[in-house]
Chains A and B, each alone.
Chain A
Amino acid sequence: ETGVTQSPTHLIKTRGQQVTLRCSSQSGHNTVSWYQQALGQGPQFIFQYYREEENGRGNFPPRFSGLQFPNYSSELNVNALELDDSALYLCASSFRGGPEAFFGQGTRLTVV
């Protein structure tokens, strides 16, 4: 059974650029959620995907968008990067109807 994997592990981008982060969900899981974790804080929910559709969204602007593919993998896209977007981005996979979520190792994004 494979766990949740994210790529890349680290990324440096310039303010105003766009970035795409990727996530492969755990085997058997059909729901993917994305979280943003600023340094020293708890993770904050960005959005969730189920059956390739957004299934809930936190308090994040539209420049944060996502995709889920038929194999349940997912992408997080952020446009017009701002300095405050610097954070650890976490992907979590779960089975629809099951409460437990399992996290990947995260992607550390630095915006300069």
Chain B
Amino acid sequence: EDQVTQSPEALRLQEGESSSLNCSYTVSGLRGLFWYRQDPGKGPEFLFTLYSAGEEKEKERLKATLTKKESFLHITAPKPEDSATYLCAVQAEEGAGNMLTFGGGTRLMVKP
């Protein structure tokens, strides 16, 4: 069974204080690993897809990396508007088409 575990559950940062979020996964053949941002009461917003170990993707202050067992979302010099829940999900090579298995998320709060 595919599993995704995210840590920490919650993270409080001061504006400008860089940090990393962790996503550990077990999957029977990884098709892709996904990062989403979710604001309260809204649907997840797609950020990145990573396909193979060693791959990195960047978008503004966010950088996602992937190894064979985990992924990190690095946040550099965060701003209050980066406050949100960040979700990690995996998609297996075998299984229901585009089915995603999600972790519980990391709730990020950035204080000015």
Q: How many residue pairs bridge A and B at CB < 8 Å?
A: 79
A50 & B97 in contact (Cβ 8 Å cutoff): yes
**Interface bracket on B:** 20 to 34
Contact of A43 among B6, B49, B102 (CB under 8 A): B102
Contact of B34 among A90, A96, A100, A108 (CB under 8 A): A100
Judged by a CB distance under 8 angstroms, whether B78 is at the interface is no
B100 & A100 in contact (Cβ 8 Å cutoff): no
B104 & A42 in contact (Cβ 8 Å cutoff): yes
When distances are taken between beta carbons in the complex, the residues of chain B under 8 Å from A28 are: none
Q: What is A's interface to B at a CB cutoff of 8 Å? A: 4, 6, 31, 33, 35, 40-45, 47-48, 50, 55-58, 88, 90, 92, 94, 96, 98-106, 108
Find the A residue at minimum CB distance from B91.
A99
Q: What is B's interface to A at a CB cutoff of 8 Å? A: 4, 6, 31-32, 34, 36, 41-46, 49, 87, 89, 91, 95-105
A31 & B97 in contact (Cβ 8 Å cutoff): yes
The distance in angstroms between the C-alpha atoms of A44 and B105, with both chains bound, is: 12
The distance in angstroms between the C-alpha atoms of A90 and B46, with both chains bound, is: 14
A103 & B102 in contact (Cβ 8 Å cutoff): no
Known contacts: A48-B98, A96-B97, A99-B98. The answer to whether A41 contacts B45 by CB under 8 A is: no
B102 & A42 in contact (Cβ 8 Å cutoff): yes
Known contacts: A57-B96, A100-B34. The answer to whether A106 contacts B43 by CB under 8 A is: yes
A43 & B44 in contact (Cβ 8 Å cutoff): yes
B54 to chain A, nearest CB (A): 18
A36 to chain B, nearest CB (A): 11
Find the B residue at minimum CB distance from A9.
B41
When distances are taken between beta carbons in the complex, the residues of chain A under 8 Å from B49 are: 99-100
